[in-house]
Structure 1
């Protein structure tokens, strides 16, 4: 590591001392293909490989910073349905061979999966489900959620459907369900219930939009947009985002 970079990293960590810190950070890992083109790679799919391995680094930085929950958006439902099948297949292989295997080795995290798993190849869905089971009993670990085949709108639709299915099974009338429906009823039927909502959402690549990510959970989140493409995102960029978050919280409370 460059000595100046190391000194700046230490300085940022010192600045975080005493600032409020997020319990849950969500990351939109955008810009893998753009990074590959800028790097002169002939196959832009290789950007996804660098991006998948980069998530391993991000998790290490997050653990070092004391972040207990991370949600990482790997692929949207639209990505899987509309992108070139060869690119989607490559991304699914990375989910199996990099992400699922890493979290089984890294005992700092307990895995959850959010999304429509029926959109994934059987082997990918199976690898992720097995990783979830393998990490389930890590009671002292942090919580890592992989959003894959994910749509925020569809998550809310599925949650409402879950409320209605539960009501039908218990014989309740629709008018009764409508009259008594609460936010907590919806939250209980989200893909990964029981986790805290994200305090901070980070999106890379300079895109200034949420793009159907955590629409229910992120209504009160701070949003940090970063111009760097995902594989170029550094630990200092995470620490800066944490510092900005802490400063904003202090300003709001003063």
Structure 2
């Protein structure tokens, strides 16, 4: 479906092998924005943009693994995306099956472990089954973590974390006053993942859009006007190089 719509001429030119990265983030968050506008510019239906975005996501995952990134979190579907037209939402809910059907063998070969964050129990049954299979197929892998944010919202995650803590207090497994910034991490969906170092957003928008709000407190932010389906390995490399040049003081004096 939509063959030939996947990548632009700009993307096909991004074939130059990059030098090794001396300084790089452990954990990258990707806000993959601009699929609809990419399709609109070409007179195509929005779902063509989402299909092209899926192809760009495949390349981004490969590039992250090749660059030695420990974890990448992909903002695949937000809690706000349910407001979109029903046909578009239905297509988006079927994209995970398309993706894993074609990519699961390579993910296993690359030793990638798949995780999901967000309220996956509210997803359609067929999408939940895809999620379960992807986790099961890669659960013993020990390489890069590919973490899909699916039906995810940062505020919802923080509320759910407070509810988990409150439940432990009620059950006598935690006490009031025990919660700190450090211990809060274990109640979040991202528990066990490396700290978020870099957030990349495409399409020219300059906001987080409810993505990893707690985790992004001290993450470096990198924005580009490139629409997500046109985002290439070269763009990712540039973002990481820019990250390496920044001074991360975390409030201290240099």
Q: Secondary structure in 2 aligned to 1:180?
A: coil
Gaps of 5+ in 2: 1-8
**Displacement of 1:166:** 1.4
How many residue pairs get aligned? The number is 241
Query: 2:249 and 2:164 mapped to 1: Cα distance?
Result: 39
- Could you say which residue in structure 2 is the equivalent of 1:47? 49
Note the 1:54-69 alignment, pairs <5 A. Answer: 54-69=56-71
Which segments of structure 1 move beyond 3 Å, counting only runs of 4 or more?
1-6, 249-254
- Could you say which residue in structure 2 is the equivalent of 1:169? 171
**Displacement of 1:250:** 7.8
Query: 1:170 and 1:251 mapped to 2: Cα distance?
Result: 39
Query: 1:250 and 1:79 mapped to 2: Cα distance?
Result: 33
Q: 2:236 aligns with which of 215, 234, 238?
A: 238
Preserved CA contact (<8 Å) 2:196 2:215: yes
TM-score computed with the length of structure 1 as normaliser: 0.87
**Displacement of 1:171:** 6.5
Query: 2:230 and 2:173 mapped to 1: Cα distance?
Result: 54
**Displacement of 1:180:** 2.1
Query: 2:141 and 2:153 mapped to 1: Cα distance?
Result: 28
- Could you say which residue in structure 1 is the equivalent of 2:5? none
Structure 1 180/31 Cα, relative in aligned 2: closer, same or farther at 3 Å?
A: same
**Residues 135-183 of structure 1, C-alpha deviation per residue, up to 9 Å, x if partnerless?**
11012x11010001000000000011001111211276xxx41x22112
Q: 1:138 aligns with which of 136, 141, 165?
A: 141
Query: 1:213 and 1:143 mapped to 2: Cα distance?
Result: 18
CA-atom RMSD, angstroms?
A: 2.3
Structure 1 228/99 Cα, relative in aligned 2: closer, same or farther at 3 Å?
A: farther
Query: 1:225 and 1:250 mapped to 2: Cα distance?
Result: 18
Q: Is residue 27 of structure 1 aligned with residue 65 of structure 2?
A: no
- Could you say which residue in structure 1 is the equivalent of 2:116? 113
**Residues 171-215 of structure 1, C-alpha deviation per residue, up to 9 Å, x if partnerless?**
76xxx41x2211233211111311012111100000000000000
- Could you say which residue in structure 2 is the equivalent of 1:98? 99
Query: 1:102 and 1:203 mapped to 2: Cα distance?
Result: 24
Select the structure that is richer in helix.
1
- Could you say which residue in structure 1 is the equivalent of 2:6? none
**Residues 80-126 of structure 1, C-alpha deviation per residue, up to 9 Å, x if partnerless?**
2x111110000010112214652454122101001111321011012
Query: 1:208 and 1:189 mapped to 2: Cα distance?
Result: 28
Query: 1:22 and 1:71 mapped to 2: Cα distance?
Result: 12
